[in-house]
Structure 1
Amino acid sequence: MDLHWLKPLLGRPAPFTTVYLDVTRADVAGEAEAADRWRAVRRTLERDGAPAAVLDEIGERFAVPTGVKGPHGRVIVADAEGVRVDRVLSEPPAQSSAVFGPAPALLPAVRAAEEGVHHVLVEVDRNGADLTWHTGDGARTGDASEVEHVDGGHDDVHKVKDGALSRRNQTRAEDSWERNAEAVAAVLGKRVAERSPDLVVLTGDVRAVALVRDEVDQHVRAVLVEVPGGARGEGVKRDAFAAKVADALDSFRNRRREAVLARFREGQGRGDGAVTALDDVIEVLRRGQVDELVLHESTLTGALADKELWVGPEPLQLGTSIADLDALGVSGDARRKLPAGVALVRAALGQDAGVTFAEDGSVELVGGVGAVLRWSDGSTPSESVPTQSADQRRLRNVV
């Protein structure tokens, strides 16, 4: 999962204020409830010493509706000078919370954001298409007026059933369908190249869907999924169609997660390309080798919840002791402690690595943490796990 949205936090001055809030506003009552939730967490932050100016800015942000329908949440992170991250979450937190301290509380936001899928809904008919973009955090990139409409320009799209004239009309109509599908495919190809969505969801008139699908470029086809039941314009059973789209997004999330875990298992099995256990993961993070940090879902409340790591001013400066930082040339006031989860995510972010959460038991992670590597050399920690073992003990060696 891409963590670029957290980059504004790197190198920023502490302390940090992190707020997770259910901002669902289904009606007037929902509006009042969202305001009440903010007032409650604000009181907690005021008691903890959060600056009034920062809290005022956060409150102003929460006062502006997201424009997202249905249940959803929001995370806002501010440093000593103001808000740096403001992100909509596709699922509201089970309980609104706020933390004021030397580091932002990142793991819950990363976990929620992993569920996001940047996708475009393409609703087609025989005249053209509507393209509606959805960001990876579940919020649409713009309001309804900014949805892109693509009209093919060929409007002779109706067949007539009468003799030779009808055959000519049918031919002209079918030609118009094809030209309009080509126009949609051309625009879609350009937009996908520009914006790199995770998924293209294609729906609408059955004949138009088939024509567009056959016309799109390979780079579009690679991320395209057809979902029946949608349509351009009115007349759609929105709830039923939304459920089908949700299923398509769930399938994509599972495929995305499993692709990372398959790489981890493969690397772990051959003893090259993946590591586990906190010390080894720290080492490869320091060396900039990590492509994807892998955490057990229980890590949020389990193995790493109470651990702290020593860090320096740079994201890749981390270790389990002061001696580790001394070896990296970091000394004095430049050293500080951070929660282990924050330190690991910070280091992953510092090398443009992603984060994947794995269901407990889906992969073998010592201490709930592992990493898929970009590269390895002779000094990289190596893992070897027996495929069959009576006591399931792991064999580990460093080469």
Structure 2
Amino acid sequence: MDLHWLKPLLGRTSPFTTVFLDATRAESAGESEAADRWRAARRTLERDGAPARVLDEIADLVTVPTGVRGPHGRVVIADADGVVVDRVVAEPPAQTVATHGPVPDLVAAVRAADQAVDLLVVAVDRTGADLTWKSAGGARAASAPADDIVRESVEGGHDDVHKTREGGLSRRSQTRAEDSWERNAEAVAAFLDKRVAERCPELIVLTGDVRAVALVCENVGRQVRELVVEVPGGARGEGAKPEAFATRVRAEVDACRERRRQRVLDRFGQALGRGAGAVTSLDDVVEVLRRGQVAELVLADDALTTLQEREVLVGLQPLELATSHADLETLGVSEARRFPAVVALARAALGQDAGVTFTAEATPELVDGVGALLRWSDDSTPSEQLLTQSADAKRVRTIV
């Protein structure tokens, strides 16, 4: 998960104004529908004390069309001096988020980042391939081009790709054509192996001529092979039914996103089962975040309201957090602030370049609806052992 675009928020001066709204332009409503959503959000922010200067700056941004077709959202976060983050995200929120207070609504922004999948679409024919690199879902700078993608092509170099059925030399011509297909596919596969090793996409969609697709698949290396899904309907240039192909690609992106989430949850469950490499409960997660041990923060959707209501003590730096004044004082923090727990957790995860994974619901092993996969452990790292035979899933806390 790419959260680097949220890092400018660290160390900024409060208060913060956060807006996450549906930026979709309905054809029938023109610009009025999006403008109405902003006006409603602005009234809420004015009531909560957001300064008019900041609201005017946000209005100048969100009332300008993004240039994106189809459903999408927009996340804008401002501090006391003005707008710091302005991103377009693939999925609009179910409800508009409009908050003004001492901390930004990081959860809305992090959830937007959780949507992103780094995608490569490869359309092949018997002469070469077109590669299209893009981030499917997720967040991009609102100032970036709406078509924020990279395209490149590779040609095999062997031009004798057409079979002939006439004349005494037809068999020889067919053999030459098939040989050209294979050599072109080898060239495409070699180029693909090289570029994938350099850019490391999460998903590769391979489409185009059926025979060429099969030949490329036979020749790519293991890294590419493990990422490839074959999706019919695409072609070099414009496919016959681009809308149908785009729908199939979106389905594969959704499946990739779910696989990514499930891999994290599987690793989390296995680490808990071993009693090493993962922790759960608010107290233990705060402790490992404070120590910079977290690779991935796990949050249950149905616990977010509770985590918003619970508070964690924080200092000026992201990793200065604790559930007690005594723990915070050991870090040399004399003046503590109180943040909603979910904001403090997301802030600390951002401060140590950890990822964040959301799961639909809290499971018995996810105590307090929060857990963490660890980068490293030592003798003082808390470890969890679950009483899986107990209906109330009580936890024994040990030190390993």
- The answer to whether the superposition gives a TM-score over 0.5 is yes
Deviations 1:74-125 (A, max 9, x none): 1111222333222222211112221122111011222233232121222222
5 Å matches for 1:74-113? 74-113=74-113
Confirm or deny that 1:304 pairs with 2:311.
Answer: no
Which sits farther off after the overlay, 219-228 or 364-373?
219-228
Q: Does the aligned pair in 2 maintain the 1:265–1:363 contact within 8 Å?
A: no
5 Å matches for 1:1-399? 1-27=1-27, 29-138=29-138, 143=147, 147-301=151-305, 303-332=306-335, 335-362=336-363, 364-389=365-390, 391-399=392-400
CA–CA distance in 2 between the matches of 1:300 and 1:201?
Answer: 34
Q: Does the aligned pair in 2 maintain the 1:318–1:343 contact within 8 Å?
A: yes
CA–CA distance in 2 between the matches of 1:33 and 1:344?
Answer: 35
TM-score (norm 2): 0.90
Post-superposition offset of 1:25: 1.9
Post-superposition offset of 1:363: 5.8
CA–CA distance in 2 between the matches of 1:217 and 1:79?
Answer: 48
Sequence identity, in percent? 67
SS at match of 1:49: coil
SS at match of 1:147: strand
SS at match of 1:222: helix
Two-structure CA RMSD over aligned residues (Å): 2.4
CA–CA distance in 2 between the matches of 1:24 and 1:174?
Answer: 48
Q: Does the aligned pair in 2 maintain the 1:291–1:371 contact within 8 Å?
A: yes
Counterpart code for 2:92: P
SS at match of 1:275: strand
CA–CA distance in 1 between the matches of 2:217 and 2:56?
Answer: 49
Structure 1 unaligned spans of 5+ = none
Which sits farther off after the overlay, 371-380 or 205-214?
205-214
Post-superposition offset of 1:381: 0.7
Post-superposition offset of 1:390: 5.1
TM-score (norm 1): 0.90
Post-superposition offset of 1:342: 0.9
SS at match of 1:66: coil
Q: Does the aligned pair in 1 maintain the 2:134–2:150 contact within 8 Å?
A: no
Structure 2 unaligned spans of 5+ = none
Q: Does the aligned pair in 1 maintain the 2:383–2:399 contact within 8 Å?
A: yes
Deviations 1:287-306 (A, max 9, x none): 111111111111222x2021
Which sits farther off after the overlay, 307-316 or 219-228?
219-228
Counterpart code for 1:308: E
Post-superposition offset of 1:160: 1.0
Counterpart code for 1:27: E
Deviations 1:309-338 (A, max 9, x none): 111111110012333221210113xx3221
Count of matched residue pairs = 396
